[in-house]
Structure 1
Amino acid sequence: MSSATYGSKHLSSAVTGRSPSLQRPFQIVIMAGDFLLVLLSYVCASLAHRELMGIPADHELSVGAGLIVAMLFVTIAFGQGGYDRHNLLNARWQSRQVLLVWILSLTILAVAAFLLKSTTALSRATIILFAAMGLISLGAHRAVWRLVLTSSFARGHSFKRRVVLLSQSPLDFTSSRFKDLRKNGFEVVHHVVLNLTPQHDDAAWDRDVLQIVRESRAAEADEFLLAFNWNELPTLQKLSQRLRQVPNAIRLLPDFAIADLVSRPFVPISGTMAIELQRAPPSIAERALKRGLDVSLASLGLLCMAPLLIITAILIKLDSPGSVIFRQTRRGINGGLFDIWKFRSMTVSDNGPEIRQASKRDARVTRIGRLLRKTSIDELPQLWNVLRGEMSLVGPRPHALAHDNYYNQMISNYAYRHHVKPGLTGWAQVNGFRGETPTIDLMKKRVEYDVWYVTNWSIWLDLRILMRTAIVLSSQDAY
């Protein structure tokens, strides 16, 4: 991953997320809009249900459930960064986030009503109407704000920030991180390539920094951006000290190495700080939460898809001779071995030291197997592996032992994938690395995403991956 690409992922939090004077009023307005829209949706749903059912108009109209869901939605969305300016401009991110938070808010309402034995006070028809109307209203609200913010940037109003960019080498202004700068309202009005090093005397530093300050004032700059690499830190430190004479904000636009460090959690240890390079294993509570999600959804999936599983088994038997279920040894958490279950989709059942991956138009794939692999129905028996505790719904996809042994020698951090249970789906799969990996570079990218998942795991990330999995199931990358 190039430094430009990686840096763009951290640019939003490092640059746009720390201008409270600009961002806070808009956050409050949008949060208030969401709250009112959710409450209004509930009132409209209740009134519509009253009209349909012929309930007298003088019957008391309760809005308690609407208030609860409105507060839940706004609180959760705020905690997930849903009101940050850069996220409001990201249509795909907003679509997924709104849907996820909305479903979670309604789920919490249902669970609370069940525990408090108040389900009789909630009309199912009202809740269904409320769910649909609220989701549409929230989506439309964000679409309107995205248009407002975009047009505001285009006219140079609202969030326009004039910045002076300082670096020690020429920069690629077509890279993604500078596109992110422009998209978020930052305009580079002056770029200075420094010829200074820590070895230069104080007079040279004073002369050049004074010139930079004069040029920034002439350009009416709002702040400074320092684009420096890890090996230029001594110069960065000296420059930042000299720039303390100006009242403007000074921000670092990091390269890959610096961005990687500042994106990791900081742990206070007495009077000093430690950076978490590798997270500790999940706590007992985190493991219990993940296991609860696995068991509940896997049980529900097996129950709801029982007819599909039976029909698939019959079709496999009619299509070609052999067993319905294919078992193959895989490596799980901490390198432990287990037998993975799949619907048989090929005429062979390799489980030895050499296993060839399925490829496009592979003659070994049966007629029904081609459909099963394309739709990932062949993976559904792994819900049983999840119930047995050998797998999780979300985690790095387990590979055949032959492939594990090979890639473990070729890719340095490959074994890091085994720090968690393997999954039916994973972060790599929903980011396009699903199916065959004919080159070592493709496997390295898959491992990179798997390692990122292990390092950044959260129950929210699992829910996000599960939702995205439904979108990518029709991918052409699996054979």
Structure 2
Amino acid sequence: MRHAPTQMRHASTQASRAFLKRSSEPLRLPMGAVCVFLATADFLLAETILLASNEVYHRHLGVSPSDIWETIYLSVTAGLVLVAFMAARGAYTVSGILDDHRVIKTLFTGWLFAFFAILWIAFLTKTTSTFSRGSLTLAFAVGFPILLPGHVALARVLKRLLAAEKLVLRTAYLFYAGVPGMEQGIIGKLGQQGIAVCGVSKIENRNGTIAAQSVRAGVAAAQAAFRFDPYGAVYLFCPWDQRKLIKRTLEEMSRLPLPIYLFADAFTDKILAGCSLHTGWQRAFEVQRAPLRPAERLLKRLFDVVLASLLLLFLFPLMAVVACAIALENGRPVLFQQTRRGFCGNPFNIYKFRSMTVQENGKEIRQAQRNDRRVTRLGRILRRSNIDELPQLFNVLRGEMSLVGPRPHAVAHDDTYSKVIESYAYRHRVKPGLTGWAQINGFRGETKELWRMEKRVEHDLWYIKSWSVRLDLKIIWTTALLLLSDRDVY
């Protein structure tokens, strides 16, 4: 036990040298240099776009151009405003560069903001008549399409280099307290973000004495590694319930003149991912957000009403023919009604074209199976083509359902699965839908095995967290393509 610190220091030093040798192979390019390069390129390109647009517009129309110095002043202002906005929105960070959706949104918003800023400055300085509205309109129209390809190209290059771990943007030393061997996964993930780990110190937490010796040995190894090849930061991965260990580690590492980052464990990370609330007394983090905010609920409702109304107008002749065919084959009723649970678990009657000889709506309901004798001849066609679901458009107009959302199950099935699937009830946080994310990913129809329902619930919960109008349109379009090819419906 007396030699434990020496052994730990020796092991940590060997690990440091191994990581130093591996991290020296890829290209080292400071993240600051990438940010400066991208910001400079945005500034110069924005300035060039305004100058070129002014020249092209006036040369082709034969109108005398505005004062050159005024135009230069305008273009420089636009470039500075654009870069400042992009920097404030995190566009020049690793995550900001690599996220394609975020790049498009931030760049377009920044370009729009730059032009509003120009107009506002021109209004305040009473120089609106000095600038050509035509050249500004041209610059605004062509600017975004010209700026975007550069960002996309840089992101693709960085993604390829980072995925292959051939590019190092930052260096760090790793302190790790957790399951042995898991640090290798952390190192790999950091490497894919351009962060080279220059050394690792494993912290033991078996008892107070061994923990203290382990921390001291780890800090000594970190200091030795820093003298050999300076790194930029210290990363501490430790469960947040180990308060004494974290405090002791931070006290020992305070001797290092470097920033120290404590990474959240898996449980804490979920909490910190929520929005923060400042009460003036303490900070709180949103551990569960409302599935849809008021504005989003209004937007989704308008989307449902408009599209459902158009579909009913377009499909009414088909629905009338189907109703007559059902009446001729099996008599009335044409529609099948069954109690389902909707938003917040409120019950409602769902409408379907009758496709079976039974109308079960009790405590025990048997799902339709392959070659089910209860399904009528016409019903097989209706169920295979999903035409039996069309009356649910009326449920959408009544506000009981949405076009897209978790599919509602019979109350008997809700009662059964809510007892064996912990997160099953979360599906009722939004209105049920005619189709959903689970359905287009193959999880519909009969659920003989429990895992199929678990996967369906998993997909439904992902949809609730990721909702957008764009996602709804994608699901509806994919559903339309799958209508005649789905083989999981009997």
Q: Normalising TM by the smaller chain, what interval?
A: 0.5 to 0.7
Equivalent in the alignment of 1:258: 268
Amino acid at match of 2:260: I
Shift of the 76–209 alpha-carbon distance from structure 1 to 2, 3 Å rule, reads: closer
Is 1:161–2:171 an aligned residue pair?
A: yes
Structure 1 residue corresponding to 2:194, chosen from 150, 162, 185: 185
Amino acid at match of 1:409: K
Equivalent in the alignment of 2:253: 243
Query: Residue 443 of structure 2 contacts residue 455 of structure 2 at CA under 8 Å; is this kept in 1?
Result: no
- Give the CA deviation at 1:384: 3.1
Q: Could you list the per-position Cα deviations for residues 159-206 of structure 1 after superposition, in whole angstroms to 9, with x for gaps in the alignment?
A: 24344352343234675x655422211223323322245612756643
Equivalent in the alignment of 2:408: 398
Structure 1 residue corresponding to 2:340, chosen from 327, 330, 333: 330
- Give the CA deviation at 1:334: 3.0
Structure 2 residue corresponding to 1:89, chosen from 90, 98, 117: 98
**SS of residue paired to 1:200:** helix
Which ranges in structure 2 are unaligned for 5 or more consecutive residues?
Answer: 1-29, 66-78, 113-136
Equivalent in the alignment of 2:308: 302
Q: Return the alpha-carbon distance in structure 2 between the equivalents of residues 398 and 385 of structure 1.
A: 12
Which ranges in structure 1 are unaligned for 5 or more consecutive residues?
Answer: 1-18, 48-55, 62-69, 107-125
- Give the CA deviation at 1:300: 2.4
Is 1:369–2:379 an aligned residue pair?
A: no
Shift of the 207–157 alpha-carbon distance from structure 1 to 2, 3 Å rule, reads: closer
Amino acid at match of 2:198: V
Equivalent in the alignment of 2:123: none
Q: Return the alpha-carbon distance in structure 2 between the equivalents of residues 478 and 75 of structure 1.
A: 53
Query: Residue 335 of structure 2 contacts residue 353 of structure 2 at CA under 8 Å; is this kept in 1?
Result: yes
Query: Residue 45 of structure 2 contacts residue 147 of structure 2 at CA under 8 Å; is this kept in 1?
Result: yes
Query: Residue 167 of structure 1 contacts residue 228 of structure 1 at CA under 8 Å; is this kept in 2?
Result: yes
Q: Could you list the per-position Cα deviations for residues 386-432 of structure 1 after superposition, in whole angstroms to 9, with x for gaps in the alignment?
A: 332223455443222111111122233433433443344556567x4
Superposed counterparts of 1:131-146, under 5 Å: 140-146=149-155
Equivalent in the alignment of 1:466: 472
Q: Return the alpha-carbon distance in structure 1 between the equivalents of residues 354 and 44 of structure 2.
A: 52
Q: Could you list the per-position Cα deviations for residues 18-44 of structure 1 after superposition, in whole angstroms to 9, with x for gaps in the alignment?
A: x9957754674687699799999x99x
Structure 2 residue corresponding to 1:147, chosen from 151, 156, 161: 156
Equivalent in the alignment of 2:220: 210
Equivalent in the alignment of 1:118: none
Superposed counterparts of 1:265-414, under 5 Å: 265-279=275-289, 286-287=293-294, 289-306=295-312, 308-310=314-316, 312-313=318-319, 316=322, 321=329, 325-342=335-352, 349-358=359-368, 364=375, 366-370=380-384, 372-373=385-386, 379=389, 381-393=391-403, 395-414=405-424
Q: Return the alpha-carbon distance in structure 2 between the equivalents of residues 360 and 142 of structure 1.
A: 52
Shift of the 21–88 alpha-carbon distance from structure 1 to 2, 3 Å rule, reads: closer
Query: Residue 330 of structure 1 contacts residue 401 of structure 1 at CA under 8 Å; is this kept in 2?
Result: yes
RMSD: 5.4
TM-score normalised by L of structure 1:
0.64
- Give the CA deviation at 1:152: 5.2
Shift of the 250–137 alpha-carbon distance from structure 1 to 2, 3 Å rule, reads: same
Query: Residue 167 of structure 1 contacts residue 194 of structure 1 at CA under 8 Å; is this kept in 2?
Result: yes
Question: Of the two, which has the highest radius of gyration?
Answer: 2
- Give the CA deviation at 1:214: 1.7
Shift of the 444–39 alpha-carbon distance from structure 1 to 2, 3 Å rule, reads: farther
Query: Residue 312 of structure 2 contacts residue 393 of structure 2 at CA under 8 Å; is this kept in 1?
Result: no
Equivalent in the alignment of 2:238: 228
Q: Could you list the per-position Cα deviations for residues 210-266 of structure 1 after superposition, in whole angstroms to 9, with x for gaps in the alignment?
A: 233323443533222223235544323321332222233333344321222221333
- Give the CA deviation at 1:331: 0.9
Aligned length: 412
Amino acid at match of 2:204: N
- Give the CA deviation at 1:83: 6.6
Query: Residue 160 of structure 1 contacts residue 185 of structure 1 at CA under 8 Å; is this kept in 2?
Result: yes
Amino acid at match of 1:406: T
Shift of the 251–378 alpha-carbon distance from structure 1 to 2, 3 Å rule, reads: farther
Shift of the 23–145 alpha-carbon distance from structure 1 to 2, 3 Å rule, reads: closer
Shift of the 272–137 alpha-carbon distance from structure 1 to 2, 3 Å rule, reads: same
Query: Residue 96 of structure 2 contacts residue 103 of structure 2 at CA under 8 Å; is this kept in 1?
Result: no
Q: Return the alpha-carbon distance in structure 2 between the equivalents of residues 403 and 208 of structure 1.
A: 55
Query: Residue 176 of structure 2 contacts residue 183 of structure 2 at CA under 8 Å; is this kept in 1?
Result: no
Query: Residue 190 of structure 1 contacts residue 216 of structure 1 at CA under 8 Å; is this kept in 2?
Result: no
Query: Residue 395 of structure 1 contacts residue 426 of structure 1 at CA under 8 Å; is this kept in 2?
Result: yes
Shift of the 331–275 alpha-carbon distance from structure 1 to 2, 3 Å rule, reads: same
Shift of the 158–248 alpha-carbon distance from structure 1 to 2, 3 Å rule, reads: same
- Give the CA deviation at 1:465: 2.8
**SS of residue paired to 1:226:** strand
Shift of the 472–257 alpha-carbon distance from structure 1 to 2, 3 Å rule, reads: farther
Q: Could you list the per-position Cα deviations for residues 253-287 of structure 1 after superposition, in whole angstroms to 9, with x for gaps in the alignment?
A: 443212222213332333322333344797xxx43
TM-score normalised by L of structure 2:
0.63
Query: Residue 315 of structure 1 contacts residue 368 of structure 1 at CA under 8 Å; is this kept in 2?
Result: no
